[in-house]
Structure 1
Amino acid sequence: MNGHASPGTIISFQGVTKQYEGDAAVLKNVSFEIERGKFYTLLGPSGCGKTTILRLIAGFTVPTKGEIYFDGKLINHVPANKRQVNTVFQDYALFPHLNVFENIAFGLRIKKLKQAEIKEKVLEALRFVNLAGYENREINEMSGGQRQRVAIARAIVNRPEIILLDEPLSALDLKLRTEMQVELRELQRRLGITFIFVTHDQEEALAMSDEIFVLNEGKIQQSGTPTDIYDEPINRFVADFIGESNIVDGRMTADFLVAFAGKSFTCVDQGLQPNEPVDIVIRPEDLEITRPGEGKLEVRVETQLFRGVHYEIQCADEAGNRWLVHSTRKAEVGEAIGLTFDPEAIHVMRLNETEEEFDKRLEAYI
């Protein structure tokens, strides 16, 4: 058993780098742990390394450096067919010449299980994905959402330890995609299997995950619960990538006091150097419109869009900062308004701080 992994850990990456010949490294000295029975999301833009992590876990490729452990055992060179892992691909990868039953049964037949056992397992998997009665349907007769369910049923039929999902919802329309997010989350809870989901859609990640790993340029920028990452982004990239943000330059005047937009404001952050340059994040929903002269900021409305549940209002202050506001209160383009916010709404980010440094700083004053 690998002594470095925490109890309950099923996957452990330790200093993993992946570099293809002649190219820059896709992953750069990445370390993390995946706990059994949780829903994880690897989130980031194209080329950030998230699919490479999936391929390394599946055994489709091997690391250039570092170690990968599965249940405490080194698996760097264990072939894909010897791992307790199944993958759901973006294009479903179903066999068009086989019906639903035979697509799901394919792996079971390779294992030479008896027909009665195959039938029992396939029908059980179909019930799990709400496709009971569809076993004789042809693949070309299925909708996109139904094909996705068949692909998931094929992945879960053998009850693997881990299911890897490589952007499996990206081809679906918005309504169906939202429905499948709920179904996948509930399926994972019922099965108790570890799900590792890859997406570039931050709303999808926030809605579905127990934990999120935010990646950029081959490194994990931040990991944590959706709430942690949304409320406490580690740097400008994470703040900008996760949800909509107002990010402005600031300066930490003292503990609990920060300056930006030409004024000083009370905040809840501490432990930084006096007059240290910082990035300031305030979420659009945390800005409240007031009458001119009654807010903490004075701004002028530049644009306004109605988004159904709120107005999306773009404003600018006299210092040249632009502010995005989500409000149920309507404003007029060209109008001068005030903006107010609570001290808790101000999130101070230290420039170039790593997640480890951020955690140490928090622990120092919690």
Structure 2
Amino acid sequence: MAETIIRFENVTKQFDNDPPVLDNVSFEIEKGKFYTLLGPSGCGKTTILRLIAGFLEASDGKIFLNDKVINEIPANKRPVNTVFQDYALFPHLNVFENVAFGLRIKKMKKDVIQQKVVEALRFVNLAGYEKREITEMSGGQRQRVAIARAIVNEPEVILLDEPLSALDLKLRTEMQYELRDLQRRLGITFIFVTHDQEEALAMSDEIFVLNKGEIQQSGTPIDIYDEPINRFVADFIGESNIVSGKMIQDFEVEFVERRFECVDQGFNPNEVVEVIIRPEDLEITTEEKGNLRVTVDWVLFRGVHYEIGCIDEDGNEWLVHSTKKAKIGEKLGLAFDPEAIHVMRLGETEEEFDARLESYEEA
């Protein structure tokens, strides 16, 4: 069983009389994994990072690190390091001195500092850059310097506050691979903050999806993408077609005034639900063969696929991702398998949701 390194126990953070930024949040972080805190601006993800780092104090609840309460421990005494969005590098110091800064504060010996800095720079593929000025470095290189400065102190946890947001798309993608590879080689816990769901899906072992100061759902990228707990998660993680429906009975759901076979169970007869079908799970076919009959409303070319907006006979909008081209105004059928239908219970908690999924596996 994996060892827990960080635990939040009923943690609340509130500024003055404003609504809580975090509201009674509890979770566990296991040692040696890559975690992502994902959500829109103002959801509380950066607040969690700052509470772990010691830059903020919790209004209520306990924060544990290695089973010890750290609420009262100052930031400089915690075995964590933070990589900030703007990297917070010193422009008047060269690469070596930026990485060595924390070690000099600890008054380590010169030969030890030399060895540790050179090793850290080698680890982030910046060997030979020791004397380079920060102002001469590219955005990706500056990020590597910031990471080297974080790992040179040998922390147990590295916190990353949207460190890729200032990079262009191609470099951002390259750095995603580099960060993931670095975490695996180091074997220490990374906690990464982003609002980019594609970034979260690509990099994470575990994702916490936050909204309005609460964790909506946690799990692996595949679990969260394939089995979202509610409309917010389904809509925030990837693109979705979401319609209202009724669970007639186990394995049978009604939506768009038709009944379909599905793989969900454990609902009450005729319970009102929401139904999600991912755009890539809709197959373009003829009107006669389709589960739905639609008219193409718009088409965009996305490189690897076409993004096609359709409207069915009842006026519902459907988004389709397909390698097949379609024409605006064309009448088509949309086919999907029972496995493509995901039924969401209204107001279900994550504990209830997990229990329901376990019952599927047992069945």
TM-score, length-normalised on structure 2? Answer: 0.98
1:126 alignment counterpart: 121
Distance of 2:153 and 2:146 partners within structure 1 = 13
Q: Is the 8 A contact 2:2 2:31 kept in 1?
A: no
Mapping 1:11-26, distance limit 5 Å: 11-26=6-21
| 1:300 matches 2:305 | no
2:180 maps to which residue? Answer: 185
Measured in 1, the distance between the counterparts of 2:123 and 2:247 equals: 53
Corresponding residue for residue 349 of structure 2 = 354
CA deviations on 1:23-80 (whole Å, 9 max, x unpaired) are 1100000000000000000000000000000000000111111110000000011000
**Paired AA for residue 190 in structure 2:** F
Alignment match of 2:232 (pick from 233, 237, 241): 237
1:214-233 to 2 correspondences below 5 Å: 214-233=209-228
Aligned counterpart for 1:208 among listed residues 199, 203, 209: 203
Q: Which residue matches 1:265?
A: 260
Aligned partner letter, 1:263: R
For these two proteins, the number of residue pairs brought into alignment is 361
> Aligned-residue CA RMSD in angstroms?
0.8
| SS across alignment from 1:258 | strand
Per-residue deviation, 1:294: 1.1
5+ residue gaps, structure 2:
none
Partners of 2:2 and 2:165 in 1: how far apart?
A: 34
- Which residue in the other structure is 1:279 paired with? 274
In terms of mean alpha carbon deviation, does 247-256 or 356-365 score higher? 356-365
Q: What residue ranges of structure 1 are gaps of 5+ in the alignment? A: 1-5
Residue equivalent to 2:133? 138
User: Residues 249-264 of structure 1 correspond to what in structure 2 (within 5 A)?
Assistant: 249-264=244-259
Percent of matched pairs sharing the same residue: 76
Q: Distance in 1 between matches of 2:93 and 2:301?
A: 48
C-alpha distance in 1, partners of 2:125/2:2? Answer: 34
- Amino acid in structure 2 at the alignment position of 1:240: D
Following superposition, the deviation at residue 352 of structure 1 comes to 1.2
Letter in 1 for 2:193: V
Taking the aligned partners of 1:243 and 1:282, their CA distance within structure 2 comes to 11
Q: How far does residue 362 in structure 1 lie from its aligned partner after superposition?
A: 2.1
User: Which whole-Å CA distance do the structure 2 matches of 1:345 and 1:113 have between them?
Assistant: 58
1:198 is aligned, of 178, 193, 196, to 193
Q: Supply the AA of the counterpart residue of 1:104.
A: V
Aligned position for 1:3: none
Aligned counterpart in structure 2 of residue 85 of structure 1, from 63, 80, 85: 80
| C-alpha deviation, 1:357, in angstroms | 1.1
- 2:13–2:58 Cα contact (<8 Å) kept: yes
**Segments ≥4 residues shifted beyond 4 Å:** none
Letter in 1 for 2:250: D
Q: CA deviation at 1:363?
A: 2.5
Partner of 1:59: 54
Partner SS, residue 96 of structure 1? coil
* Cα deviation 1:63-104 (Å, max 9, x = unaligned): 111110000000011000000000000000000000000000
Can you list the C-alpha shifts for 1:104-155, whole angstroms capped at 9, x where unaligned? 0000001111100001000000011100000000000001110010000000
Look up the match of 1:340: 335
For residues 149 and 41 of structure 1, the distance between their equivalents in structure 2, rounded to whole angstroms, comes to 19
**By how many angstroms is 1:7 displaced?**
5.7
Give the Cα–Cα distance (whole angstroms) in 2 for the partners of residues 144 and 209 of structure 1.
23
Give the whole-Å Cα distance in 2 for the aligned partners of 1:184 and 1:61: 26
